[in-house]
Amino acid sequence: MTRLRNYFLTGLLVAGPAGITIYITWSMVSWIDSWVKPYLPEAYNPDTYLPFRVPGYGLVVAVLVITLIGFLTANIVGASIFSFSENIFDRMPLVRNLYKGLKQIFSSVLADKGNSFKQAALVRFPHTGLWTIGFVAGATRGEVAERLAGGDDMLTVYVPTTPNPTGGYLVFIRREDVVVLDMTVEDAAKFVISFGLVTAQSADAADGLIRNLAKGIDRQPPPTDEPSTDESERPPHSVHEPS
């Protein structure tokens, strides 16, 4: 039974994360396909003349289209068309605010990677006596820094919520009240998403557990039907035979 238990635990540790990862990846690919494929002409959609669906075709088309847009925008003609489309958005009262906000977000995350989250830290939130994990975005700038007393020594910190880190709070804290952690932003995000159960040490421990279980399976002695005669293995209340 011990051998079967080790087999099951080893398989669960290996197949569990892999299965969930495959399921999430497959769901994302299917979601992108459902958005892209309906807009493709039938002549360029393999689902129209094949007896089965081609998963990921919509994702490939989306990547090619985005790359083509970037290539055209880098040229003079494409840049002119891009400027013309921006002027159209600027003339729409509600759309221009949404477009400018999204453009700034994408520019900050993708174009200027130097200003992305690079440090995880502990901050007192929501009040003194409680600590939570936050992501340091950098020094506070602009009007916020000018309005705050000691704004030159303030940090902008994003405090995520659990288990969904995309929702959270943007706070401005004095530099001396921020405790920078040694863990990476990725490890901190895993810590937040998992309700504090997953750390870098726990990931290493999981790998070590798999290795130990595998060693235990290999070293497990074969079962024997012969009873043991070693006196050290006698039960505590066994009676010794007289000599």
- Please check the confidence at residue 225 and state whether its pLDDT lies above 70: no
pLDDT at 220 exceeding the cut of 80? no
- Residue 27 banded pLDDT, cuts 50, 70, 90: very high
Confidence check: pLDDT of 69 > 60: yes
Q: What is the 3-state secondary structure (H, E, C) of the chain?
A: CHHHHHHHHHHHHHHHHHHHHHHHHHHHHHHHHHHHHHHCCHHHCHHHCCCCCCCCHHHHHHHHHHHHHHHHHHCHHHHHHHHHHHHHHHCCHHHHHHHHHHHHHHHHHHHCHHHCCCEEEEEECCCCCCEEEEEEEEECCHHHHHHCCCHHHEEEEEEECCCCCCCEEEEEEEHHHCEECCCCHHHHHHHHHCCCCCCHHHHHHHHHHHHHHHHHHHHCCCCCCCCCCCHHHCCCCCCCCCC
Mean of pLDDT values over 166-185: 87
Q: pLDDT tens for residues 44-66?
A: 888 888 888 888 888 999 999 98
Residue pair 44/64 in contact by the 8 Å Cβ criterion = no
Binning pLDDT at 50, 70 and 90, where does residue 242 land? very low
The CA distances from residue 52 to 35, 45, 58, in Å, are 18, 12, 15
Q: Report how far residue 41's alpha carbon sits from residue 37's, in angstroms, rounded to the nearest whole number.
A: 8
- Structural tokens at position 70: 């970037």
Lowest mean pLDDT among 150-164, 201-215, 216-230: 216-230
What predicted TM-score, i.e. pTM, was given to this entire model?
Answer: 0.54
How large is the average pLDDT for residues 165-192? 86
Looking at residue 148, its pLDDT comes to 82
- pLDDT for 217 beyond 60: no
Q: Which residues have a Cβ under 8 Å from the Cβ of 170 and sit 6 or more positions away? A: 156, 157, 158, 159
Q: Is the pLDDT of residue 179 over 50?
A: yes
Q: Where are the domains of the chain?
A: 2-113, 117-193
